[in-house]
Amino acid sequence: MVRFIALLVGVAFAGVLLLALGNTVYGVVTDPPAATAEHEFHLHPKELKLASDGAFGKYDNRQLQRGLQVYKEVCSACHSLRLVSFRDLEGIGYNEAQVKNFAASIDTIPSINPDTGEASTRKGIPSDRFPSPFANDVAARAANNNAIPPDLSLMTKARHDGSAYVYSLLTGFQNQPAKLLKEFPDSKTPPGLHYNPYFANLNLAMAPPLTSEGQVAYLDGTRPTVDQMAKDVSAFLTWTAEPKLQARRQTGFAVIGFLLVFCVLAWGAYQNVWRNVKH
């Protein structure tokens, strides 16, 4: 009797689920959701090829150094790299002396005046992390149309197609298409925001950061087009998110090699142990 009641309860529960699913499918078919501007005009990130792509990819230190230069001269005005220390820059080809000089060039590291006990700033040292451009969130909102610029340390890991997303966002600012305004008259970009089809809701508070060729004068002589600067800083942010990428891959290949050798040895041992046993 108990089993019969349990069976009835299970059948009833399954029936309710099937009924709910059927009603949902029927509603979608008969009354599909209205199209939105975000759904119709949001674009998938552009294709971006970096030296670090693929199983055997390696970082291009020259490109990473150019990307650091773009970050320092353009992006650092609004965005922080709170998880990156100056000494980490040795990982992209700088020596110890160069890292010390770079750290010392940053004179906005928060500190305390030992004589007065008041807040002050000092020059950076290699163990310091990249400082935030704003004292707090209130100051960040006040300077950016009530939006807090995100930290970029892990940005390429926090977004789908991260490197390509950053590159597309930086090169995707444009005027709203006439077709969008015709189909969705209420979707006009609000004052203070900027249209970008690679952003989720098409409008963001960040103004185009890379606006013209030569905005950054590359030290290695590379032509600083907007496209090149966007690629370089995207590569740099890929490194900040995964500074141990190459070491991780090398470890992975070593583990795979070990497992292959182990499998061969195990198979050989199996054959040796059971060689006299008739099947």
Cβ neighbours, 10 Å, residue 204: 18
Binding-site entries? 75, 78-79, 206
CA dihedral over 91, 92, 94, 95, signed as positive or negative: positive
Residue positions forming the annotated binding site for heme c: 75, 78-79, 206
DSSP-assigned beta bridge partners for residue 119 = 112
- Three-class secondary structure of residue 267 per DSSP: helix
Helix, strand, coil proportions of the chain in percent (round to 5)? 50, 5, 45
Q: Which amino acid is at 77?
A: A
User: How far apart are the C-alpha atoms of 199 and 40, rounded to whole Å?
Assistant: 13
Q: What gap in Å lies between CA 65 and CA 276, rounded to an integer?
A: 64
Q: Please give the single-letter amino acid code of residue 264.
A: V
Structure tokens at 195: 């249209």
- Residue labelled with tokens 């890379």: 210
The CA distance from 133 to 82, in Å, is 10
